[in-house]
A and B are shown apart, each in its own frame.
Chain A
Amino acid sequence: MPVGKKSSTNPQKDKISVTIVVPPTEVAHGDYLITLAEGGETEAAAFLEEKGGMSSMSSTEELSADQLGMEVLPRPGSGTLFFRLGVAVAKLDANHLARLQDVAQGEKSILAIERAPIFFAASSWDQAFLQGYEAGVKGLIQSLAGLSVQSTAIDEAGGTATWGLNATRVEASRATGRGVRVAILDTGLDLLHPDFAGRSIQSRSFIVDEPVQDGHGHGTHCAGTACGPRKPRQGPRYGIAHEAEIFIGKVLSNSGGSRGRSVELGMEWALANRCDIISMSLGSPVLPNQGPIQAYERIGSRALSAGMMFVAAAGNDSVRRRGLINPVGSPANVPSILAVGALDQQLAVADFSNGGINGNGGDVDIAGPGVGVYSSIPGGYGLKSGTSMATPHIAGLAALHAEITGHRGRALWEALTESAKALPLAPRDVGSGIGQAP
């Protein structure tokens, strides 16, 4: 069965654009699985070559084990289209990926660009590469059988939890987030995702004409990290506060942006519902020396005084490899909202992660895993990178601390930052360090 046929039962299908966002850093290099819209395969092929910068796309009418086994993609920018599967496998370097992500936004024939499970950066045909290839073939077979495709990063291959959960010591913690209310203000949630079945979920959309159902993917990914299950239906554990009460405020549209006062209304809704931790993987860029918006300081400080806490993404506007560090974005740049920076698998500052260069509360307060983060996406699982991914790690950890210590508001903020593991990095970039489970 073509992959596209499976997703034709998904009412949000035509709203899904590009679900995987990996910033254009060196870690982007690898094999990618590009999901094509059903019926749009020819259009997608032309698009990938003409606008996507793909130098050579060979095609095959049919997938066979032989073809899969033989499929070697030697050069960045080359790839193979599997018309009947509705997917393309492409080798992309950072430049190709960045260009493709840029032009694929809004391109209806491309549904998703995901790191293929066969992306191991091995330089030779070693054991790890072959294992990765096996995982890739299994993923394609699962998709053929109508199951969701599971993207599995090298860190997750054979592991019981994601690298992010290991780095934050979640697996070793007995805390579950029980009795703690966690709000995710984002693009909504895939309410049909099996990993959220049976959970206490309250939701509301602040986007006119768009239901809570996540037609983007970002919100489902963030909610998965903060509150996903201890034992997912398949694959490694990726969720932290697996017994927390979930509040989903859809404040970003299916194209990923706020509309009108959707964000402020969502913040107010979360406060009115007495959510203990409110996670906001969203932002607006701020210029050097630009001051924070006082309205968000009011909202944040009122939350802390009432025993609640906002956690927000520091933003992805930096290109550190070129020496460019931009300031923490809004609303994370007010003193009363906890600003979260992103770390990679080596616990180095992520290339894109903003820094605390503006003062006036525009500091990075804490850091979390934010590169190659595996979590839930509508209909399955996928990898994303960004301070958006670091933020729900911290929100989930905060829920665990809230449960264990009973602290809320400012006391919870202190418990979280004081228990963070210090890193040999500038506090400007990582605050008190990487958040740790209690």
Chain B
Amino acid sequence: MEKRALQSVLVTVDDQHHDLDLVARALEKAGLVDTDVLRFSGIIGGSVNEAQLAGLREIPGVENVEAQPVFHAS
């Protein structure tokens, strides 16, 4: 696959109805790399090739896929 800039994303999962680990595995299969599973929050963080971004939203259990910001001391 052509190498493009990876986008850091936060995936909000409907973990009341879907197994978080299974969703994480499906996301990885769809191109998400460097994943972190936040169990308390029901969020999966990771990086994805921009071309594969839209595909993540199609995975059952995925509520939102959003770009992750950079924070600074305020």
**Chain A positions near chain B (C-beta within 8 angstroms):** 186-187, 216, 218-219, 251-252, 256-258, 260-261, 263-265, 267-268, 271-272, 281-284, 293-295, 298-299, 302, 306, 313, 315-316, 329-330, 386-388
Contact = CB atoms under 8 A, between A and B. Distances in A.
Interface of B: 8, 10-12, 36, 38-43, 45, 63-64, 66, 68-74
Contacts of A186: 73
Contacts of A260: 8
Q: Is the interface of B mostly helix, strand, loop or mixed?
A: strand
A120 B7 CA distance: 50
Contact of B71 (A258, A295, A299): A258
A313 B74 contact: yes
A261 B68 contact: yes
Contact of B41 (A281, A282, A302, A386): A302
B36 A267 contact: no
B42 A302 contact: yes
13 contacts: A186-B73, A257-B72, A263-B71, A264-B68, A282-B72, A293-B66, A295-B11, A295-B64, A295-B68, A299-B38, A299-B41, A302-B40, A302-B42
B40 A271 contact: yes
Contact of B43 (A264, A315, A316): A264
Contact of B45 (A264, A282, A294, A302): A264
B65 to A, nearest CB: 9
A294 B36 contact: no
Contacts of B38: 264-265, 267-268, 299
Contacts of A298: 12, 41-43
B4 to A, nearest CB: 19
Given A264-B36, A265-B38, A294 B72 contact: no
A252 B69 contact: no
Given A268-B38, A284-B70, A299 B8 contact: no
A388 B73 contact: yes
B71 to A, nearest CB: 4
Contacts of B45: 261, 264-265
A416 B39 CA distance: 29
Contacts of B69: 284, 293, 330
Given A264-B10, A295-B10, A295-B12, A281 B73 contact: yes
A282 B71 contact: yes
A329 B73 CA distance: 12
B40 A294 contact: no
A6 to B, nearest CB: 26
Contacts of B68: 261, 264, 295
B57 to A, nearest CB: 13
Q: Lowest 4 CB-CB distances: which A-B pairs, in order?
A: A284-B69, A295-B10, A258-B71, A256-B73
A55 B45 CA distance: 50
